[in-house]
Amino acid sequence: MPDLYDVAAIGNAIVDVISPADDAFIDAQGLAKGGMTLVDAQRSSALYAEMAPGVETSGGSAANTVAGVASFGGAAVFLGKVANDQLGAVFTHDMRAIGARFDNLPLQIGPATAACMINVTPDGQRTMCTYLGASTHFAEDDVDDTVIEAAKIVYLEGYLFDAEPARRAFAKAAGLARASGRMLALTLSDGFVVERHRQALLGFIDSQVDLLFANEVEATALFQTDSFEAAAEALRGRVKLAAVTRGEKGSVILSQGERLQVAPERVEKVVDTTGAGDQYAAGFMFGLSRGRPLQACGRLASLAAAEVISHYGPRPQVQLKDLAAAKGF
C-alpha cells in the first residue's frame, strides 16, 4: 500500500464538557484530581447536575491527537465510534472540519455518544470523569484494513484497554500494521489505566509496540517504581522508541542508542492542561512521519503541547502548521 496517511489512530470518540471548579468541588465529589475516572450513565448525570455551566467541545485522547496532526498539515485518520445523536454529529463535524478523515458509521441502537466531564481547577489541572457510552461498541469490524495498511504510524490509545471488543480491534490493527511494515505507537493514557491493565499492557508493548508515549506517572506505574530514572531505563530496554513527558520539566526521548532531553516550550499562563499529552504525541508523530530527527520531533511535540495548555479545550485553536513555520520549522 502507498503511504496515504501520516497517522491513523484508534481511540474513544468523546465529546468533552468543560467547566471551571475549585478543589473543594473535586474533593466533595470524591474524584482523584488530575486523573480519569470511568462513570456509568447514572453517576454521569448526577455529577453533571452539580457542575458549573460548561462548554461542549470534541475531545477523546487519540482523536485530539489526530486533530493535532491535521492541524500541522498532516494526513490523519481517526477510527472510533459515536452514536447517531447530536453529540455524535458534533464530534464527526469537528473531526472533518479540521481536515481529518473519520468514516466509522455511528451506532444506531444503544448508548449515547461518550462524554467526558472535565472540571478544571484554577491551577489549570483537569480532573476527568468519562461515560464511555457508544465508544465501547468499537470493534474489530470497525478497523478498516486499507486504512491501517496505508498509514505510516498506527497510533492506539491505552484507554481502550478498558473495553474488551476494543482490545480485539487493537490486536487486529497491530497485526495488520506488523504485516505491512507500519510503525505501531501506543500511549499509556492514564496512571489508573496502567494499574488496571499492567500485565496486558506490558505484553502488548513487548510483542507489538515500536513507539510508546507516557507521562511520568504512567511510566513509573508501568514498572511499579517511584524512580523516574528506573522507569526510563526499563523503557529503553523494552521499546525501540519512547517519549516520556514530565510537565514543566519538559520531556525525555529514549531510543536504544540515545537519550535526549527536550526543553518545554514557554507558556505565559497555563489555563487548562487537557490535551497536553495528546498534542505532544501529535507533534512528535508528525515530525517522525516527515523524517525529522528526534530532537526536532520533540520540539514540534512541545510546541503543540504549549499551545493547547494556554487555552480551554483539548485541541489547537490556531493552525499548528503556521505556529511551526513561525518557529522556523
Least distance CB 162 / a copy of itself (angstroms): 23
Least distance CB 63 / a copy of itself (angstroms): 11
Position among 90, 202, 230, 271 found at the interface with a copy of itself (CB under 8 A): 90
Phi, psi values for residue 252, rounded to 5°: -125, 130
For a copy of itself, the closer of residues 115 and 235 by Cβ is: 115
For a copy of itself, the closer of residues 87 and 234 by Cβ is: 87
Distance CA 222, CA 161 (A): 14
Distance CA 48, CA 54 (A): 10
Bin 18: left if φ > 0, else alpha if -120 < ψ < 50, else beta: beta
Contact call for residues 184 and 210 (beta carbons, < 8 A): yes
For a copy of itself, the closer of residues 85 and 233 by Cβ is: 85
For the sheet containing 211-215, what is the strand order? 76-79, 5-10, 151-157, 183-187, 211-215, 241-245, 251-255, 259-262
Please list every residue from 13 through 32 that binds a copy of itself, using CB under 8 A. Answer: 17, 19
Least distance CB 72 / a copy of itself (angstroms): 15
Position among 21, 98, 177, 219 found at the interface with a copy of itself (CB under 8 A): 98
Residue in 37, 42, 221 with CA at minimum distance from that of residue 116: 37
Instruction: Give the contacts of 175 (CB within 8 A, at least 6 positions apart).
Output: none
Position among 10, 14, 87, 303 found at the interface with a copy of itself (CB under 8 A): 87
Placement of cell 492542561 in the chain = 273
Position among 32, 41, 46, 97 found at the interface with a copy of itself (CB under 8 A): 97
Least distance CB 127 / a copy of itself (angstroms): 17
Phi, psi values for residue 168, rounded to 5°: -65, -40
**Count of residues touching a copy of itself (by CB under 8 A):** 25
Position among 29, 44, 57, 104 found at the interface with a copy of itself (CB under 8 A): 57
132 is written with which cell numbers?
Answer: 464511555
Least distance CB 61 / a copy of itself (angstroms): 17
Please list every residue from 223 through 282 that binds a copy of itself, using CB under 8 A. Answer: none
Site stretch for a copy of itself (CB under 8 A), options 32-40, 94-102, 140-148, 223-231: 94-102
Asked if 108 touches a copy of itself (CB under 8 A), the answer is no
Helices 164-179 and 198-208, packing angle to 10 deg: 10
DSSP letter at 84 equals S
Phi, psi values for residue 262, rounded to 5°: -115, 125
Position among 22, 40, 41, 86 found at the interface with a copy of itself (CB under 8 A): 86
220 is written with which cell numbers?
Answer: 513509573
Distance CA 30, CA 25 (A): 9
Asked if 93 touches a copy of itself (CB under 8 A), the answer is yes
Residue 228 identity:
F
Contact letters (x/-) for a copy of itself, 34-53, by CB under 8 A?
--------------xx-xxx
Least distance CB 153 / a copy of itself (angstroms): 22
Asked if 103 touches a copy of itself (CB under 8 A), the answer is no
Q: Which residues contribute to the site for a copy of itself (CB under 8 A)? A: 17, 19, 48-49, 51-58, 67, 85-87, 90, 93-94, 97-98, 112-113, 313, 315
